[in-house]
Amino acid sequence: MENENLENIDLEYYNKEGEFLNEFYKLEHFLNCKQTKEILEKEYYNNFVKNMEPELIDFLKYFKEYYKETSLFKETKGNAEGEFVALIYNNLNKNYDLNIFYENPELAQPLIELDK
């Protein structure tokens, strides 16, 4: 029972801290801090690899099979998938999700320290 009360206190604290971050810090603040920028970039990349990359590879495999007789896919040496995924990734407008900081405010500590 005591642990449940401690968890609720922590949850309440983090919710307030998350609300504070949401109210007073915008994306540019997080991107101007080296540590929080790295977290955002890693999180974005991991989400891309987990969610988007398999879809892109499946899409490319479909076209490889469909157009297997064309020179576009005959001349590739097995690295077409990686090049295709990198091309897409490098040309996306990155839409960073700040919820990682709102849900885990301790990750934003370097940003808060910069402000002091």
Domain range for 35 is: 2-115
How much is the average pLDDT of 95-110?
A: 94
CA distance linking residue 88 with residue 81, whole number of Å: 11
CA distance linking residue 93 with residue 102, whole number of Å: 22
What is the reported pTM? 0.72
Given pLDDT bands bounded at 50, 70 and 90, which one contains residue 63? confident
Output 30 or 12, whichever has higher pLDDT: 30
What is the 3-state secondary structure of 49-71? HHHHHHHHHHHHHHHHHHCCCCH
CA distance linking residue 12 with residue 43, whole number of Å: 25
How much is the average pLDDT of 69-83?
A: 66
Domain count, the chain: 1
CA distance linking residue 35 with residue 114, whole number of Å: 11
User: Among 89, 90, 104, which Cα is nearest to 30's?
Assistant: 104
